[in-house]
């Protein structure tokens, strides 16, 4: 408006003098200019007054609008009431159930993986090998490995059971598959090509030299000793199979020597080594080493399966579901209690799958208390659930959670005592002790194979990581939640 007055004053001063004198009712030009100046001062004060009134009017309008909005919000919002924790937890549980009913992948991951792991482990590693191919170099024209009677009639008289077939008949028919090899070079070619695991080479006239060795005993010459010695060559790159095959061959050879001694009315126990092994716990059988690994398999998977549920909660946070639940009054304590209640049902089913498959179909024995064993496995699963919740609280992206879960899986795989920790350096063993499931594995193994109870220090120590890691996880989760929703 001030600009308009200036323009109007400028137009007035641009009029001709007579017209200007007539408009200002002045006699001289000096009086006309003085009149115009007074008129401008009056207009300027009037404009200031109008501007102040307009400002007051705008401020008043804004205040009234804010007050109106505040009153509208008060009218819309219900009075503050105490949340019903039971209903919130029930709603979260219903949400968990509905999600599992709609998405079959969750059920497959939580129920199918325990079945797959138990069956695969027991089918592949739970039974002894069979049909292992071994070559035989016999150097005996009268020997025919394809003959069902093996050219021998199971002779039991003295020095009549010292032949190649008398040795081979001690082997079970399903353990080894014998392949005829013409020469040593052919056997080496088969070994280098991976077509056989090993080969047995019998020297020429093996039966005669074996008989002379038994007769001459301490006076046997080098020709007799070399002629009665069986050479065994194997592919030692597969240590599990070769160790098993070596033990089987040694046991069958001792049985072969014992049968010769009994046929000649000697004391057969002379053929046995001067060492006697007796097991206090477990068994001295080679493949009973799997009973040492089974508790580690169960503990490791029962720790990892509940921990992986963190991917679902992280996805809810990324898409905004968790934020809307927080506005609705759902806090961390509600999610935690609901997760423990719902996952406990799934954990008990998973425990039943692991123990049921291994006990029913593969004869896994728990010599100690079943209640104590199930309690320890359940505690391990709850620890995994809290550990996963801690990872989810520290990460805001699904990819970050996946990489951390992979790191935890690989770190726990070889550090849980599934393999003897005495094989690791001393400093590494001390670090592994503080990992979540190392002591739990040792405790479960003691319960299953030794029958120890809760009064044993090893079993009690297995429950201590449960308390420690749950406490650490809760502290970290609470601090992360406060930072996120402060």
Interacting residues of 137 by C-beta distance below 8 A, sequence separation 6+: 181, 182, 183, 184, 187, 199, 200, 201, 202
- Interval 188-214: pLDDT, tens: 888 888 899 999 999 988 888 888 888
Ramachandran angles phi, psi of 440, nearest 5° = -65, -40
- Residue ranges in the chain modelled with pLDDT below 50: 1-13, 48-49, 54, 66-67, 69-81
The single-letter DSSP state of residue 219 is G
- Interval 41-81: pLDDT, tens: 555 555 544 555 545 555 555 555 544 544 443 444 444 44
> Number of helices (H) and strands (E), helices first, in the chain?
20, 4
- Domain range list for the chain: 2-73, 93-124+286-484, 128-271
Pull the structure tokens for residue 386: 């809290």
Q: Residue 154: left if φ>0, alpha if ψ -120 to 50, beta else—which one? A: left
Query: What are the angstrom distances between the C-alpha of 189 and each of 41, 195, 232?
Result: 120, 9, 15
Query: What are 199's strand-pairing partners?
Result: 135, 233
What does pTM read for this prediction?
0.69
Pull the structure tokens for residue 276: 């006697």
Pairing of strands 176-180, 132-137: parallel
CATH classification (class only), 128-271: alpha beta
List the beta strands (DSSP E) in 356-405.
none
Query: What are the angstrom distances between the C-alpha of 232 and each of 203, 237, 334, 431?
Result: 12, 15, 67, 43
Pairing of strands 198-201, 132-137: parallel
Q: In what order do the strands lie in the sheet with 198-201?
A: 176-180, 132-137, 198-201, 231-234
- Element (H or E) spanning 232, and its range? strand 231-234
Query: What are 176's strand-pairing partners?
Result: 132
Pull the structure tokens for residue 49: 């007054």
How far apart are alpha carbons 368 and 445 in whole angstroms?
Answer: 10
- Let me know if 194 is exposed, middle or buried by CB neighbors in 10 A (0-12, 13-18, 19+): exposed
- Element (H or E) spanning 42, and its range? helix 29-76
How far apart are alpha carbons 206 and 152 in whole angstroms?
Answer: 14
Per-residue pLDDT, 16: 58
Neighbours of 303 (CB within 10 A): 26
How far apart are alpha carbons 332 and 481 in whole angstroms?
Answer: 8
List the beta strands (DSSP E) in 84-207.
132-137, 176-180, 198-201
Neighbours of 123 (CB within 10 A): 11
Pull the structure tokens for residue 415: 């550090």
Per-residue pLDDT, 9: 47
Q: Within a 13 Å sphere around the CA of 30, how many CA atoms are in the beta-carbon half?
A: 0
Q: How many residues does the structure list for the chain?
A: 486
């Amino acid at each position: 408006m001030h600009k308009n007055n200036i323009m109007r004053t400028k137009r007035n001063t641009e009029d001709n003098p007579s017209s200007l004198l007539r408009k200002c009712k002045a006699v001289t030009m000096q009086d006309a200019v003085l009149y115009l100046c007074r008129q401008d001062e009056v207009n300027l004060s009037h404009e200031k007054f109008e501007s102040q009134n307009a400002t007051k009017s705008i401020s008043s309008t804004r205040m009234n609008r804010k007050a109106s909005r505040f009153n509208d919000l008060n009218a819309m919002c219900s009075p503050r009431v105490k949340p019903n924790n039971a209903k919130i937890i029930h709603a979260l549980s219903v949400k968990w159930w509905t999600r599992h009913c709609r998405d079959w992948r969750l059920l497959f991951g939580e129920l199918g993986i325990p079945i797959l792991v138990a069956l695969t482990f027991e089918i592949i590693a739970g039974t002894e090998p069979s049909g292992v191919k071994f070559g035989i170099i016999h150097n005996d024209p009268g020997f025919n490995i394809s003959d069902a009677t093996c050219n021998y009639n199971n002779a039991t008289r003295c020095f009549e059971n010292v032949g190649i077939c008398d040795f081979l008949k001690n082997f079970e028919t399903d353990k080894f598959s014998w392949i005829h090899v013409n020469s040593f070079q052919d056997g080496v070619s088969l070994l280098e090509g991976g077509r056989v695991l090993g080969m047995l080479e019998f020297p020429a006239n093996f039966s005669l030299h074996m008989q002379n060795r038994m007769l001459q005993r301490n006076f046997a010459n080098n020709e007799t000793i070399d002629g009665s010695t069986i050479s065994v060559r194997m592919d030692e790159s597969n240590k599990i199979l070769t160790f098993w095959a070596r033990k089987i061959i040694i046991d069958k050879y001792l049985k072969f020597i014992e049968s010769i001694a009994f046929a000649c009315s000697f004391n057969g126990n002379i053929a046995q080594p001067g060492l006697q092994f007796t097991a206090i716990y477990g068994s001295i059988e080679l493949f009973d080493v799997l009973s040492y690994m089974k508790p580690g398999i169960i503990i490791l998977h029962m720790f990892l399966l509940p921990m992986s549920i963190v991917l679902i909660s992280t996805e809810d946070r990324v898409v905004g579901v968790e934020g809307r639940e927080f506005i609705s009054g759902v806090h961390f304590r509600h999610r935690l209690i609901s997760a423990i209640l719902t996952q406990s049902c799934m954990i008990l089913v998973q425990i039943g799958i692991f123990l049921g498959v291994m006990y029913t179909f593969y004869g896994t024995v728990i010599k100690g208390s079943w209640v104590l064993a199930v309690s320890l496995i359940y505690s391990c699963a709850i620890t995994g659930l809290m550990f996963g919740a801690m990872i989810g609280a520290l990460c805001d992206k699904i990819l970050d959670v996946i990489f951390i879960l992979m790191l935890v899986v690989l770190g726990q795989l070889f550090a849980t005592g599934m393999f003897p920790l005495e094989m690791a350096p001393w400093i590494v063993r001390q670090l592994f002790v503080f990992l979540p499931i190392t002591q739990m594995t040792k405790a479960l193994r003691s319960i299953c194979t030794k029958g120890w109870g809760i009064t044993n220090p090893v079993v009690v120590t297995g429950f201590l990581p449960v308390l420690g890691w749950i406490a650490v996880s809760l502290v970290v989760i609470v601090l992360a939640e406060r930072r996120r929703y402060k």
